[in-house]
């Protein structure tokens, strides 16, 4: 039951991050950009500071959730729900 709760939370966080990244016009698929967001890059924050701050906080939370899930449920099960979530978000963005 706990893995379902982790998956549900991760899905909600990931979808919110995706929406906020669109508002901020930030491409989180680029690892360097993702690192810059987590580091609080001031140049990236300028476009929409409130959305950026929320996105950054949710990204940190998502990473913590993945880490905790890996500890509790193993990396394989955690990777499966992370990949499923990313795939779902990509399909929604593509309009499928």
Per-residue pLDDT tens for 48-70? 999 999 999 999 998 888 888 88
Q: What is the mean pLDDT of residues 66-90?
A: 85
Residue 10 has pLDDT above 70, yes or no: yes
Q: What is the C-alpha separation between 41 and 79, in angstroms, rounded?
A: 28
- Average pLDDT value over all residues in the chain: 87
pLDDT for position 1: 47
What's the whole-model pTM score?
A: 0.82
pLDDT for position 2: 57
| Nearest by Cα to 28 from 50, 51, 4 | 51
- Per-residue DSSP letters for 7-32? HHHHHHHHHHHHHHHHHHT--TTSHH
Domain extents in the chain: 2-94
pLDDT for position 6: 67
């Amino acid at each position: 039951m706990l893995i379902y709760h982790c998956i549900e939370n991760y899905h909600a966080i990931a979808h919110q991050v995706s929406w906020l990244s669109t508002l901020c016009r930030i491409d989180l698929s680029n690892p360097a950009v993702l690192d810059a967001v987590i580091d609080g890059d001031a140049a990236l924050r300028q476009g929409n500071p409130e959305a950026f701050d929320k996105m950054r906080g949710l990204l940190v939370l998502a990473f913590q959730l993945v880490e905790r899930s890996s500890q509790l449920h193993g990396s394989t099960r955690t990777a499966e729900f992370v990949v499923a979530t990313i795939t779902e978000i990509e399909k929604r963005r593509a309009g499928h």
